[in-house]
Amino acid sequence: MNFDFSDDQKQLRDQARKFLAEKCPPKAVRAVLDGKAPYDRELWKGLAEMGFLGVAIPEQFGGAGAGHLELCVIAEEMGRALAPVPFSSTVYLAAEALLIAGSDAQKSKWLPKIASGEAIGTLALFEGTGNPSAKAVKLSANGGMLNGVKKPVADGAIADFAVVAARSGASGRESDISLFLADLKGGGVEIKELTNLDPTRGQAELAFKNCKAEPLGAAGEGWSILTQVLDRAAVLTAFEQVGGADRALEMGRDYALDRIAFGRPIGSFQAVKHMLADMYVSATLARSNCYYGAWALSTNAGELPEAAAAARISATQAFQHCAKNNIQVHGGMGFTWEFDCHMYYRRANAVALGLGSLSYWEDALIERMRKKNAA
């Protein structure tokens, strides 16, 4: 058994950490937080130059052709640094959807642009309140024309193209759903930026009005493709969450060592020590679940649906837990704009929702386990 990343992969992680420490310090995250830019363009360019955007994209489509384990270690670092770039939308969602369902022409058109940083992509799935569900998809596709409203769409205001979930049939089944590729710069879409919990990653409303779009994957296969995309993105996002959780834990630990109250470091009070120990426990459980998810993702194992749900749940809990208690350890300082704690708290809670919330994945995990058990 070798349930660990390889030395090369660990080296890649170190390289990504170093790069991000330099190019994405908290100051850079704050620039986006404070609304000075919709995302960090310089960083995005840098990530492309490092080959990180296309790390899991095959060489024939302009990527590095490394693999998903490599993407996992980079994702962890992106989460740790709170990188304010459309990485998850573009790389975990749009690129994965293209890799699973795209025609050669579609892949050739978009994947090289993703790898080079020229194109930002996203997934337009949600239509208001609610979790991923075929029933909730109302946006219609008729003769290649999309009509309807998607919101929230992560990074929708800066994306060049979107994978859009649309209703193309009326049978009342999941097979009514098909996916489309919409060029967001080609007209027929009204885009409105929305305020959100975590301004370091934008959210938008996309109103499609007779927007011409081409099918992605076979008609009626939309929901099944989406399910796969969400599972794959769940693992990758879980790595971001674990990276964020670890960083929040470190921040809390460091502050506890430095801050003196009652004549001693607050890290010497058991109430604080035990809070930090519990943060370590949840981060560790999440990391281990993520490793299993990474294995399943990289080998396309039959266990992926379960492994992805477990990684997602565990990592969501860990990041939320570590981010909120990091603020607690910081006392009043944790509740200021100046301290970085709230940026992790915002990200932890925003990223908990994007691919379907905790309750959605809890339900999915047990449903998947039940099915496997019954089989």
Partner 1 sequence: MNFDDTPQEAAFRAEAKAWIGANAPKQYEDELRQSSLGRVRLEGADILQVAKAWQKKKAEAGWACLHWPREYGGRGASPIERVIWQQEEGPFGKLSGVFIIGHGMCGPTMMAFAAEHHKRKYLPPLASGEKVWCQLFSEPAGGSDVAGLRTRAEKSGDDWIINGQKIWTTGAHYSDYGILLTRTDPNVPKHKGLTMFFLDMKSPGVEVRPIHQANGQSEFNEVYFTDVTIPDSQRLGNVNDGWNVSLTTLMNERMSIGAGVATGFPEIFEFCSGLMLDDGPAIEDRAVRSKLANWAVKASGLKYTSFRAISALSKGERPGPENSIGKLVAGSMIQDVATYALDLQGAAGVLSGPEAELAGKFQAMLLRAPGTRVEGGTDEIMRNIVAERVLGLPGDIRVDKDVPFNQIPTRGRA
Ligand X SMILES: Cc1cc2nc3c(=O)[nH]c(=O)nc-3n(C[C@H](O)[C@H](O)[C@H](O)COP(=O)(O)OP(=O)(O)OC[C@H]3O[C@@H](n4cnc5c(N)ncnc54)[C@H](O)[C@@H]3O)c2cc1C
Cα–Cα distance measured from residue 182 to residue 196, given in angstroms and rounded to the nearest whole number = 24
Q: How far is the CB of 351 from ligand X (least distance, A)?
A: 24
Q: How far is the CB of 100 from partner 1 (least distance, A)?
A: 21
* Pair of tokens at residue 4: 């660990």
CB 364 within 8 A of CB 313: no
Residue 278 interface partner, choices partner 1, ligand X, none, CB cut-off 5-8 Å depending on type: partner 1
One-letter amino acid of 155: D
One-letter amino acid of 2: N
Cβ neighbours of residue 340 under 8 Å, at least 6 residues apart? 26, 29, 251
Rounded to 10 deg, the angle between the 341-351 and 304-334 helix axes is 150
Q: How far is the CB of 208 from partner 1 (least distance, A)?
A: 33
Burial (0-12, 13-18, 19+ Cβ within 10 Å), 340: buried
Residue number, 165 or 296, with CB nearest to partner 1? 296
**In DSSP terms, which residues pair with 148 in a beta bridge?**
208
Binding of partner 1 by 370 (CB under 8 A): yes
Residue number, 299 or 336, with CB nearest to ligand X? 336
Q: How many CB atoms lie within 10 A of CB 188?
A: 17
Q: How far is the CB of 158 from partner 1 (least distance, A)?
A: 33
Closest CA to 163 of 129, 201, 119, 128: 119
Q: Which of 286, 327, 341, 343 binds partner 1 (CB under 8 A)?
A: 286
Q: How far is the CB of 96 from ligand X (least distance, A)?
A: 40
Q: How far is the CB of 326 from ligand X (least distance, A)?
A: 10
* Pair of tokens at residue 242: 């674990």
Q: Which of 64, 158, 225, 276 binds partner 1 (CB under 8 A)?
A: 276
Residues 291-320 that bind partner 1 (CB under 8 A): 291-292, 294-295, 298-299, 309-310, 313-314, 317
Q: Which of 260, 261, 333, 366 binds partner 1 (CB under 8 A)?
A: 366
For the four alpha carbons of 83, 86, 92 and 95, in that order, the dihedral sign comes to: negative
Q: How far is the CB of 265 from ligand X (least distance, A)?
A: 10
Binding of ligand X by 335 (CB under 6 A): yes
* Pair of tokens at residue 301: 């194992």
Q: Which of 299, 331, 367, 370 binds ligand X (CB under 6 A)?
A: 331
Residue 328 interface partner, choices ligand X, partner 1, none, CB cut-off 5-8 Å depending on type: ligand X
Shortest-Cβ-distance residue relative to ligand X? 331
Binding of partner 1 by 277 (CB under 8 A): yes
204 in the Ramachandran plot: left (φ > 0), alpha (ψ -120 to 50) or beta? beta
Q: How far is the CB of 263 from partner 1 (least distance, A)?
A: 10
Coil, strand or helix: which one is 322? helix
Cβ neighbours of residue 147 under 8 Å, at least 6 residues apart? 139, 140, 208, 209, 210, 211
Cα–Cα distance measured from residue 10 to residue 13, given in angstroms and rounded to the nearest whole number = 5
> Using CB under 6 A as the criterion, what x/- string covers residues 252-291 for binding ligand X?
-------x-xx---x--xxxx-------------------
Contact residues for ligand X, defined by CB under 6 A: 259, 261-262, 266, 269-272, 328-329, 331-333, 335
Contact residues for partner 1, defined by CB under 8 A: 1-6, 69, 249, 253, 256-257, 264-265, 267-268, 270, 272-274, 276-278, 280-281, 284-289, 291-292, 294-295, 298-299, 309-310, 313-314, 317, 359, 361-363, 365-367, 369-370, 373
